[in-house]
Structure formats: C-alpha cells, structure tokens
Amino acid sequence: MDAIEAKDRRDGLVAGLVSYVTWGFFPLYLILLWGVHPLEIVAHRVVWAVAVMLVIMAVTRQWGALLRALADRVSRNRLAVASALIGVVWFFYAYGALTGRAVDVALGYFICPLVTILLAVVVNRERLRPAQWVSAGIGAVAVVVVTVGYGKLPWISVTVALAFGLYSLVKNRVGRGVTPTVGLTVESLLLVPFAAVTVVAMSLAGTATFAGDGWDVTDLFLVLSGPMTMFPLLTFAAAANRLPLSLLGNLQYLNPALQLVSAVLVLQEDMPVARWAGFGLVWVSLLVLVVDGARAGARARAGRPQPAGAPEESEAQGPGRPPTHRALA
C-alpha cells in the first residue's frame, strides 16, 4: 500500500467513523424534539433533506442524472419502494426514541444482518454456509428470548429490521446506473407528497409543532433534522469509496452499539435480564457471522476452495459478510 492509498484508507476510516457515530447518537438529537409527533419529525426530515440534496445537485451539476433516474420507470419504481421503506424506518426510529424504546430500535439494527441473510435465501435463492445457518438460528433464538421476557413480540425491533433489510435488497437492485447521491435525492423527493400532506393536515388540526406559537428552538431543531439526516449519508458515501467492504461492514455494528449506550446510560431505559440475554445471543450470532465472513474472504484471497455446499465468494458478498447500507437512521 503506497502513501496515497494509505491516506485514502485513513480518510475513509475517519469518514466511516463520523457516519456511524452520528447515527449512533442520533436518538439523543431526537430527544431535543420531545413532544413533537414522530410523523411530523419524519415530514420535516424529508422536507429539509430535499432542500439539502437539491443544493448538492446544483453544486455537483447532477441535474441530468437526476432527471434520467426519474424518467426511467424501473429505477423510479424501485426507488419509490425504497423511499417508502426508509420512511418506515425513520418513523419507528423517532417513535422508539421518543417513547422510551430506543433499546428496541438498537436491537432492530443488530438483527438486521440476520434479516439480510433470510432475504438472501428466500428472495435471491442463495446458498448459505453452515456457519451462516448457525448464526441465523442463534438470532432467531434471541428474538424468542426477548419475546418471552417482554411477554410480547418486540415489534419495533422486528419492523425496523425487516424494513431496513428490504430497503437494502431494493437498493441493491436499483443498479449502478443511479449514483448514491442521485438515489437519495429521488427517494427524498418521492416522500415529499407524504410530507406535505402530513404538515398541512397537522397544521389544520392544530397539532403541528412547527411555527405553532412563533419561531422557537424546536423549529430550529426540526429544520436541522434535514442536514443531520444527509450529513452522515454523505460521509458514508466517502467512506464506501475508500474502505474495503469487510472493514466498512464491521464498522456498521458501531451504530446500534452506540444507540444501546445512549438508551441505557443517557436515556436511562430499563435493561432487564431478558433483554441482556437477547442482546447477548444476537452478539454471539453476529460474531459467528463476522468470523465466517472473514474466513471466507481469506480462503478466496488464498485461492483455496470453499467448504462443501458453500457459495462462491461472489455470492458470499451478500449474506457472507456483514452487509453495508446507505441509509441507517
């Protein structure tokens, strides 16, 4: 590795850490919006995120690429599904933080790689290595343990994991013809009708917080939610261009880990034994997944054959390694 590559790697690592640390502590930012309905928070994230992305489009002169993505029916339809899914994730992220369930959101992000494995098998018909089946099985047991401890299904965790896993699957099928910046802009634009209806309906009903009693600091935090949404996505894009997939994939676990720290130490959410047991099992399953992915990558680089029944490394890029995603919080 020469000096330029080493500097690129360092810059990518810093950018990746900035992204995941920002996402990890984002629940603390949402607490500043206490009293604002989660739907209104999502609506303002959309509105001000679009404003940020349109400025970026103007600066980078990507209007042509944006119009082509909007004109292409297949790309537009897939990005429409992706935008709906990320809207669901944003809603439950805010809902969890504002209702004392940030731990549930963290659990959802922890089990997301296991959902990705499930989708790889069910949707893509991919074959898994034995260790991947073991990891998925341990993860399923973890959900059962948490469910028994709660006395009910941790539906926020399951919803976040499923929505984000499906989002990743759809984004993977958008193709390389749509750049991350253009894709994020299209997704945000497609959510504008929802945001507009939400803002107007809440204003007419008298339940809107934004500019309800004149301008105050809560309104400022709602406006800043747009840049706060897009800033880590842009630094993540910079990291993705500079870091190996394996390193970027392992960094992703910093996000839910910091969410858990924020929820327990700062927000003082309860962590009964059943929760710790469930999280412990999830961490074991993720450790199995990471170690197996590292071994598969080492075998591929060394030119050694995969174990019997294992997919080729090109297939293993999906469920075989920790998945990386373009939009988290």
What's the pLDDT at 26?
92
Judge whether 323 lies within some domain. no
SS3 212: strand
Judge whether 19 lies within some domain. yes
| CB contact at 8 A, 94 and 30 | yes
Judge whether 325 lies within some domain. no
What's the pLDDT at 316?
38
What's the pLDDT at 296?
76
299 contact partners, CB below 8 Å, separation of at least 6? 305, 306, 313
Residue 183, classified by CB atoms within 10 Å of its CB into exposed (0-12), middle (13-18) or buried (19+), is buried
Residue 57, classified by CB atoms within 10 Å of its CB into exposed (0-12), middle (13-18) or buried (19+), is middle
Judge whether 324 lies within some domain. no
| CB contact at 8 A, 252 and 322 | yes
| CB contact at 8 A, 187 and 46 | no
| CB contact at 8 A, 195 and 42 | yes
Judge whether 154 lies within some domain. yes
Judge whether 231 lies within some domain. yes
| CB contact at 8 A, 117 and 135 | yes
Cα(91)–Cα(93) distance, rounded to whole angstroms? Answer: 5
Judge whether 212 lies within some domain. yes
> Which domain, by its residues, includes 181?
3-316
> Domain count of the chain?
1
In 3D space, the residue among 231, 258, 225, 233 whose CA is nearest the CA of residue 33 turns out to be: 225
Question: Model pTM?
Answer: 0.80
| CB contact at 8 A, 262 and 93 | no
Judge whether 327 lies within some domain. no
Per-residue pLDDT of the chain (329 residues; tens, 9 = 90+): 577 777 888 888 898 899 889 989 999 999 999 889 999 999 999 999 999 999 999 999 999 999 999 999 998 999 999 999 999 999 999 999 999 999 999 989 888 888 877 887 888 787 878 888 888 888 888 888 888 887 888 899 999 999 988 988 888 788 777 888 898 899 999 999 999 999 999 988 888 888 766 678 999 999 999 999 888 888 887 787 777 766 776 777 888 999 999 999 999 998 888 889 988 998 998 888 788 877 877 777 776 555 544 444 433 344 344 444 445 56
**Residue with tokens 């989660």, as numbered in its chain:** 38
Cα(252)–Cα(312) distance, rounded to whole angstroms? Answer: 24
What's the pLDDT at 83?
93
Cα(88)–Cα(57) distance, rounded to whole angstroms? Answer: 25
Cα(18)–Cα(9) distance, rounded to whole angstroms? Answer: 14
Cα(301)–Cα(281) distance, rounded to whole angstroms? Answer: 30
- ∠ CA(272), CA(274), CA(277), 5° rounding? 115
Condensed to tens digits (0 to 9), the pLDDT of residues 138-187 reads 888 888 888 888 788 889 999 999 998 898 888 878 877 788 889 889 99
SS3 253: coil
What's the pLDDT at 214?
66
**Other Cβ atoms within 10 Å of 131 Cβ, number:** 18
